[in-house]
Amino acid sequence: MTKRVLGMKETDSSFQALQAIMEKGLADSSVALSAMSTGGMRLQKPVVHMLPLDQVPGIAGGPARVVVAVYVGMKGDLSGHLMLLFQREAALRVVEMLMDLPPGSLPDLDEVGRSALAEVGNICCSACLSALANRTGLVILPTPPVVVTDMAGAILESVVTHLYLNGDESLVVETKFNEEVPGYFLLLPDQQSLGKLVAVVGTKP
């Protein structure tokens, strides 16, 4: 069975165009993140899925799993949500990579760690939004990043609830940092915005 999102199938050219845009965005993120870390940081080529909203709170190890999320809202021509999500251990590892520390040296996420993650989220979200804007000509404005540590279900529910108001599915982008640390990047445009996006990427070569 082919998964559908708001009339779009994963085999559609518009979906593939979106996937290519996200790949470009994360590749640009790798360059920017490597520039700020000594050891270099590379994001794996992402796997993009369409997921029913009901299933979104279960990604990243289930709804009860403690995760660290960097949230950025989208305004302008597109509205919706962007989120970078790590399981707690993975979040610590990303901060260690950025600070060139050996694995396991950070016991907990402190203020410095949180702002480092906010910056990672900022870079990834901005790069993906730039990739989207370059490809579509749409003007998309990110809100300042917010870092939250809590149960995955509780954090994801809040954006899913908002999206339920006009849709049933969303775009989930899965990637890995330096091929070892899994992270999830969610691009969650509301239905109107996704319609706009599909229309633009579907027509522009």
Partner 1 sequence: MRMQIAVAGLGELVSGNRPDQVLVCYGLGSCVGLALHDPVARVGVLAHVVLPDSRLGRGVPDRPGKFADTAVPAAIEEAVRLGAVPARLVARIVGGARMLPVAGIPGMLDIGDRNVEAVQAALARAGIRLIGQDTGGTYGRTVHFFVGTGRLMVSTVGRGEREL
Question: Which of 38, 146, 199, 204 is the binder for partner 1 (CB under 8 A)?
Answer: 146
The window from 23-31, 58-66, 89-97, 175-183 that contacts partner 1 (CB under 8 A) reads: 58-66
The window from 66-74, 90-98, 116-124, 131-139 that contacts partner 1 (CB under 8 A) reads: 66-74
The window from 18-26, 33-41, 57-65, 112-120 that contacts partner 1 (CB under 8 A) reads: 57-65
* CA distance linking residue 121 with residue 129, whole number of Å: 12
DSSP-assigned states of every residue in the chain: ---EETTEETTSHHHHHHHHHHHHHHHHHHHHHHHHSSS---BPPPEEEEEEGGGGGGTTT-TTSEEEEEEEEEEETS-EEEEEEEEHHHHHHHHHHHHT--TT---S--HHHHHHHHHHHHHHHHHHHHHHHHHH---EEEPPPEEEEEEHHHHHHHHHHHHHTT-SEEEEEEEEETTTEEEEEEEEE-HHHHHHHHHHHHH--
Question: Which of 51, 99, 133, 148 is the binder for partner 1 (CB under 8 A)?
Answer: 148
Question: Which of 13, 45, 143, 199 is the binder for partner 1 (CB under 8 A)?
Answer: 143
What is the nearest approach in angstroms of partner 1 to the Cβ of residue 81? 8
From residue 34 to residue 53, the character string flagging contacts with partner 1 as x (rule: CB under 8 A) and all else as - is -------------------x
Using CB under 8 A, which residues numbered 77 to 116 contact partner 1? 79, 81
Please work out the total of residues on this chain that contact partner 1, with binding judged by CB under 8 A.
Answer: 33
| Contact set with partner 1 (CB under 8 A) | 53-54, 57-58, 62-64, 66, 71, 73, 75, 79, 81, 143, 146, 148-162, 164-166
